[in-house]
A and B are shown apart, each in its own frame.
Chain A
């Protein structure tokens, strides 16, 4: 197997394995459906281009998160909305059908997180995906203490907004 084929295979495996992570990140930064598809493509291209220089010094998941978030926050194109709105959450994700209350709270949480600033959005998303403070610090480049205090502030603010 030559080097290019091996790289392609590795890339396909990464996309298949981390599709959920990439999709969730794009979903959080997208303003509508077309934007979501553009962001997904952007992340994939940047992952492909970065794969050659990825030396495995960090975990693959950390690298995926970093590249995906960086691609979304720095999308170098002026985006014009095509649809009026992003599809509602239930059309994209499988919400719990047996627990309407929980589905409602998830929907509300998604709406509130979507309104956060780019870095705060990245922090809360990784925290929700159960990354440790050290992993979040490594992806974002913030100190562990800074991550902890920012997350506490964001959670407090989200809870307040949800109550009001």
Chain B
């Protein structure tokens, strides 16, 4: 197959996406594109919403404990720290996402920014799940009215299991992204 020969043929073909129910058809209502949100806008809104839920939860948990004295102080402090960390991480991710301007950056830059955002998101998920397991395991022991020492064991076990799973997931992702970034930084030396 000679690709140079096929170039003209490629240019002569017309895409007729009406047969696919037409991407353009969704935009046929006048001004419809003004009301629509891009996947980036939707994700940005979701991250801010999650962050708001985290900060609201701090107040909620504190009030609940003030009324019912459900948790020991240490556990309450751990929950507050968890929600603060998650709230801040979601705000950081939203900020990083809004800095990506797809209409003005080059393709290499967009790819680089997108990959870095995906790495950040993946790591935030790992931190979130690890902390969550760390918090839930001792909580489980506490509600089962076990001895205090088991709460500590539970927290350590939660940390180890959560981190092990997180790092295992991260390893594959890191390798893939490293390959893609090294491809982007390849300067074509063989020219």
Contacts and interface: CB of A to CB of B under 8 A. Distances in A.
Interface size class of B (residues with CB under 8 A): 35 or more
A109 B10 CA distance: 9
Dominant secondary structure at the A interface: helix
B172 to A, nearest CB: 16
A70 B111 CA distance: 7
A148 B190 CA distance: 10
A46 B102 contact: yes
A67 B9 CA distance: 25
Contact of B188 (A102, A138, A146): A146
Given A118-B111, A155-B3, A75 B23 contact: no
Contacts of A50: 101-104
Contacts of A63: 103
Contacts of B106: 66, 138-141
Contacts, number: 196
A5 to B, nearest CB: 10
A19 interface: yes
Contacts of A66: 103, 105-107
A158 B3 contact: yes
Contact of A106 (B9, B14, B40): B9
Interface stretch (B78-86, B138-146, B149-157, B179-187): B179-187
Given A48-B33, A141-B107, A162-B1, A106 B10 contact: yes
A53 B109 CA distance: 18
B13 A94 contact: yes
Interface size class of A (residues with CB under 8 A): 35 or more
Given A33-B21, A119-B108, A143-B188, A128 B16 contact: no
B39 A141 contact: no
Interface of B: 1-4, 6-7, 9-17, 19-24, 26-27, 31, 33-34, 36-40, 42-43, 97, 100-111, 113-114, 180, 183-184, 186-191
Interface of A: 8, 11, 15, 19-20, 22-24, 26-27, 33, 36-42, 44-51, 53-54, 63, 66-67, 69-71, 73-77, 87, 91-96, 102, 105-106, 108-109, 117-119, 122, 127-130, 138-143, 145-150, 153, 155, 158-159, 162-163
22 contacts: A33-B20, A40-B17, A45-B37, A45-B38, A50-B102, A53-B101, A69-B107, A71-B102, A92-B17, A93-B15, A102-B6, A105-B1, A106-B9, A109-B10, A118-B111, A127-B7, A141-B109, A142-B108, A146-B186, A147-B188, A149-B189, A150-B186
